[in-house]
A and B are shown apart, each in its own frame.
Chain A
Amino acid sequence: SATPEIPKEDDRPKWDNKFQYILSCIGFAVGLGNVWRFPYLCQIHGGGAFLIPYFIALLFEGIPLLHLELALGQCLRKGSIGAWNTISPYLGGVGVGSWVVSILVSLYYNTVLTWVMWYFINSFQEPLPWSVCPLNENRTGFNKECYESTAVNYFWYRKTLNITPDIAESGTLQWWLILCLATCWAIVYLCTIRGIETTGKAIYVTAVFPYLVLTIFLIQGLTLPGATDGLVYLFTPNLNTLKNPRVWLDAATQIFFSLSLAFGGLIAFSSYNPQKNDCEKDAVTVAIVNSITSLYASIPVFSVLGFKATTSYWDCLDRNIISVINEFDLPEESIVRQNYTSWISFLNSSHPEKIAGLKLKSCDLQEFLDQSVSGTGLAFIVFTQAIILMPGSQAWAILFFIMLFSLGLSSMFGNIEGVFTPLLELQIVSKSTPKELLSGIICLISFLIALCFTLGSGSYWIDIFDRYAGSVPLLVIAFFEVIGVVYVYKIKRFSKDVKWMTGRKLNLYWQITWRFISPLLLLIVFMAFVTLQMLKPPSYAAWNPKYESFPMKEEKVYPPWVQAICVLLAALPCVCVPLVALFHLIKQKHRSKDTSLVSPEVFYCQGANS
């Protein structure tokens, strides 16, 4: 009989308590996307009806994949590269792919936090700098670019990004962004300096604080005029949209990216757990909390958007009222918003040519509510405009941007752990080099590379990274993760491991989803996603003040060299999987004839941490 090895007392760092671990996973999953992407999807996909495909995707894709990753990390007690190498050297590429994606995403994600920080430090002024346009040279009017668009747009595109009209024009490095970028990386270094020892403490603040602020915004948002219009508009279900397959695709991708799967960060987090831990309950908890947070965040977001739409509608009405009153020399306050329509119809019947000459803009509340924005546009343009209209705007701005910063920072922790933990295990550096030095080097190198995003064309590049590096490779890696565990490592062994860890047998739900439903779903989503990307030529919307229909953005196509970079970004992590497998195949052929896929059977979860 084989003598099993003694599980050595390893000096692997541990979580201080279970709550820290759960909070870290929640913080990693709950990020900027919960605030600025989920409400947008709800809005354009039929309001309350979107929740149906969302929860189906959660049930069949989100929770199973999450459980898989957490169980894997906890069982093998290694980061992504080490874990996959342990399962099978041929699958080591999956870990390497995760690691590469984590690096790419960390680079651009922190630049988004740079923008948030820039807005935060600008929120201490009275009046807010994005509320007024600067004057032009001879002080007779406002700056032309600002006047034609809005003050908020001007502050974002000119004062913050100093954006170039084309991605091929790189522009110069923006020194204020460099300062903020350095600060952001310094904050990330401060929090991840000793791995989970320090992030574990920081997460208490960064994961809990956003909920506090969301609650404050919820209360404030509900008291604003027009909030109920926004909420009704958001949640009114329109079941017809469910017939569009695009909705199902968006639900599946939203769940997938929202839970931050396939980054390797979750594997790293759970690898610091004691092995006898109920990972099944953890996975369900984290996934449900993530979805509830998305729903909870959409309420204040939509109250504020409803308020903004209502004020824009009122402004439109007021402008029309002023022109009508001026034209007809009617007394002040004779036309108010309430009787505007009756007055207009009366005047139209009596003096139609005068009314036509005024060129009144049609004001429609629905139209204002329909203007949907997601992503950076929501936070830096729409929301900032709404904040100007609230009383006490500095306080609201400061709160809002601190909240965004905490949300993004807790996700950064997961990304950095996904980079940091495998590096520690690969033993590139000797045991004596302190962790502080390694994390410092990672942060410094990332800062230097991320300087390219502070160029004039930086935000176009961030869009590219977001669309290509942070989407398709994750789907591919997740697919290979599921296939690798279920069919290469064999689900029977994994079931035994999970049973040993949680104390319960894997029930039918996990068996079915892991074996069939999740891989199939991932395959379908991947194909649909790639097909949709291929259908339209890769284009971007450029901010060009010299464009004829400025302030509309100009649609431009990516030049070929940029398209090559997009393909490279998407392909680089994916290609790691077959490359590493090939590398091992060649190595094995040279060494011995044993080309078995996985190491022999004496290899259970509990014996793996040697």
Chain B
Amino acid sequence: YAWDANEEYLFKAMVAFAMRRYSSKSTTQISNVLLCNVTDRVSFWFVVTDSSKNVTTVPGSVVEAAIRMNRNRINSAFLLSDKTLQFLKITSTLSPPVEPSTPVWLIVFGVVLCLIVAGIVFLIVSGIQKHKKKNKESTEGENLEEKVEVTVTLENGLPCEVLDLKAGHINGVFAADDERFTSL
């Protein structure tokens, strides 16, 4: 929006409103607020006069305190913020960032940790179960192995490729170099 005389009027009204709220006496009029040196930047000086005390200006500290108390109202009247509407010499108190009662990261951390612990427990338990099953099976498998040993010795100590018991394990020693053995 453009800055024109109506906006200046609103500004005077807001300053008067701030003075009234602060000092809680309803004597400040819009005509008590004087603007000067208005530039295109939109920057200006303003003073507040006190009509009850012989047209002297209200001390700067009082005006500052009043503005500070009503800063957000003034801002919202002009649809501006502390950054876009600047009062020189009035530093604004900053609002602290919102902190929830439990930090959010702790909650996320808790979730992650629970998932991991659940995974570990599951794997350990299934590992123990598999171990028990394998123990039971290996006692049965040992009998089978003895029979295999017997058949090997029967064949004059030379293993046969035929003995493909567990998983087709090709005896590469035999498949490869013939030169290691004396030709018959």
Inside 8 A of A121's CB, which chain B residues have their CB?
105, 108-109, 112
Interface residue? A326 (CB, 8 A) = yes
Q: Chain B, 122-136, contact with A by CB distance < 8 Å: what is the 0/1 string?
A: 011001100100000
| Chain B proximity of A245: nearest CB distance (Å) | 46
Q: Chain A, 187-216, contact with B by CB distance < 8 Å: what is the 0/1 string?
A: 101100110001000000000000000000
Tell whether, in the assembled complex, residue B113 and residue A186 are in contact, meaning their CB atoms are under 8 Å apart. yes
Residue of B97, B131, B167, B171 with most partner-chain A CB within 10 A: B97
Contact of B124 among A122, A127, A186, A193 (CB under 8 A): A193
Inside 8 A of A332's CB, which chain B residues have their CB?
41-42
Inside 8 A of B79's CB, which chain A residues have their CB?
none
Inside 8 A of B42's CB, which chain A residues have their CB?
331-332
Interface residue? A436 (CB, 8 A) = yes
Tell whether, in the assembled complex, residue B41 and residue A186 are in contact, meaning their CB atoms are under 8 Å apart. no
Q: Chain B, 148-184, contact with A by CB distance < 8 Å: what is the 0/1 string?
A: 0000000001110000011101011100100011100
| Chain A proximity of B114: nearest CB distance (Å) | 11
Instruction: Name B38's closest neighbour in chain A (CB-CB).
Output: A329
What is the CA–CA distance of A335 and B180 in the complex, to the nearest angstrom? 91
Instruction: Name A117's closest neighbour in chain B (CB-CB).
Output: B112
Interface residue? A546 (CB, 8 A) = no
Inside 8 A of B127's CB, which chain A residues have their CB?
193-194, 434-436
Tell whether, in the assembled complex, residue A6 and residue B105 are in contact, meaning their CB atoms are under 8 Å apart. no
Contact of B40 among A124, A190, A329, A607 (CB under 8 A): A329
Tell whether, in the assembled complex, residue B41 and residue A3 are in contact, meaning their CB atoms are under 8 Å apart. no
Chain B binding surface, main DSSP class: loop
Interface residue? B104 (CB, 8 A) = yes
Tell whether, in the assembled complex, residue B176 and residue A500 are in contact, meaning their CB atoms are under 8 Å apart. yes
Residue of A139, A142, A190 with most partner-chain B CB within 10 A: A190
Q: Chain A, 281-312, contact with B by CB distance < 8 Å: what is the 0/1 string?
A: 00000000000000000000000000000000
Tell whether, in the assembled complex, residue A7 and residue B169 are in contact, meaning their CB atoms are under 8 Å apart. yes
Interface residue? A594 (CB, 8 A) = no
Contact of A329 among B39, B117, B169 (CB under 8 A): B39
Interface residue? A582 (CB, 8 A) = no
Inside 8 A of B113's CB, which chain A residues have their CB?
183, 186
Listed in ascending order, the chain B residues whose CB lies under 8 Å from chain A are 39-43, 91, 93-94, 96-97, 104-105, 108-109, 112-113, 116-117, 119-120, 123-124, 127-128, 131, 157-159, 165-167, 169, 171-173, 176, 180-182
A and B contact pairs by CB, cutoff 8 A, 16 listed = A2-B180, A3-B157, A118-B105, A121-B108, A122-B105, A125-B105, A127-B97, A134-B97, A135-B94, A139-B96, A141-B94, A325-B41, A329-B39, A434-B131, A435-B127, A607-B173
